[in-house]
Chain A
């Protein structure tokens, strides 16, 4: 290839960059569009420079963003090798050094968090983000300069993302059994349900990539919306219902919820078995109930609805029947 053929005047390349930046800032006005056309036609270097812009942007746009961010943002080779060395040292030193991460500036943190049935916890991640864990929840965390990844194994979490230096921490990602979520805002809840993921975008949008979506399609969940996602697609999306977020205040909120479904909710928090007689499973339950004590909930039900509770096995097994 003869290099002289491909040489484009530096000025044309700089002007092409200016036009590109202008068009990325805001759509060009008609007047600007006319100016741009004049510029492009002014000489062959300008038009060649613009073709080059289009070729560059074409390639940048085809890249899957997650992997591109991780790869292109990877630490410089020197610091990367250094970081690996430091991590090995830290691991060799054992868990006593765990709290010292800030001083050592090790580049990766991992940890597992878990709550038992009926437990509720709030924790702070190494980047300052806050996570609330609802009952029977488990997630793993892997933080490094490429990404901040939470893998939700079971249960339900709320994340309040901290503002961080993007050079130190990569984008925040949440992985569930169904796919990967990227919160663009700073607050959301995610629940691993049986066979689907439920999320609520409390602040800012969330992008969801179901793991088997056609063409690796990404879905956007708008702020203020909750959505259900399967392995393949967005199942549904609607405005956030108070019942979805009541757990943050350690409550179950029900609005005309069939007793059968209500009992399933209560069971998430309750050690033991709660059985509903088929005769009453369609009673509609409304109200707010504290999750910290499920016996209280059962008492509230028996006082409000035509229901009685039979306790067996020292309260481990409870059956609700028509009164």
Chain B
């Protein structure tokens, strides 16, 4: 079906999608979460995401489509939640040295989320090398010794990690 730019067409298609599937999608997401408030939020997020694309009228398999979008949103939710949990756990253990102000904490959390997203798709060992170098401040040779890999491999992993970050960073990333 061709895409129709008429806002009224989008509006009525969206309305139909929402009323036909809202309850079904909520139930689907609810089964994947521990808490129904989050499930309601993520259900809304899924519809908002689809609404923003302005191509509802072209959807032929609504439930498959909703499920694909919702899966991404649920997995992002879990990722963010585990990041925040780890962060809060850490600053509870080491309250003072890390952060002083609430505002500072928000900035750090946001930067962490962004860097986490950049590193997300990397293989585990590549990510480990990157973090040892950039977060632990270790020299490439030290990393090679500690992980029992060659210097060349360490540098290859570093390059893979950097290229990944640089490729995914758009101009407004970190803003």
Contacts and interface: CB of A to CB of B under 8 A. Distances in A.
Q: How many B residues touch the partner, as a band?
A: 35 or more
B102 to A, nearest CB: 15
Contact of B159 (A17, A49, A55, A146): A17
B86 A71 contact: yes
A13 interface: yes
Given A25-B140, A68-B135, A166-B147, A13 B167 contact: yes
A72 B166 contact: no
Given A17-B159, A71-B83, A55 B112 contact: no
Given A56-B169, A66-B97, A180-B97, A74 B112 contact: no
Contacts of A17: 158-159, 162-163, 166
Interface residues of A, number: 55
Classify the secondary structure of A's interface with B: helix
Contacts of B172: 1
B91 interface: yes
A204 to B, nearest CB: 12
A3 interface: yes
A67 B87 contact: yes
Contacts, number: 143
A72 B91 contact: no
B146 interface: yes
The winner among B95, B169, B171 for most chain A CB atoms within 10 A is B171
B22 to A, nearest CB: 27
A5 interface: yes
B147 A72 contact: no
Interface in B60-91: 75, 78-79, 82-83, 86-87, 89-91
Given A13-B166, A55-B169, A59-B115, A71 B159 contact: no
B165 A56 contact: yes
Interface stretch (B23-31, B47-55, B125-133): B125-133
B10 to A, nearest CB: 22
28 contacts: A1-B172, A5-B171, A6-B171, A16-B162, A17-B163, A21-B159, A21-B162, A49-B166, A53-B162, A59-B114, A59-B174, A60-B115, A63-B108, A63-B135, A66-B98, A70-B87, A71-B87, A71-B90, A72-B127, A73-B135, A74-B82, A77-B78, A146-B86, A163-B146, A166-B146, A175-B93, A210-B97, A211-B97
Interface of B: 75, 78-79, 82-83, 86-87, 89-91, 93-100, 108, 111-112, 114-116, 119, 124, 127-128, 131-137, 140, 146-147, 155, 158-159, 162-163, 165-167, 169-174
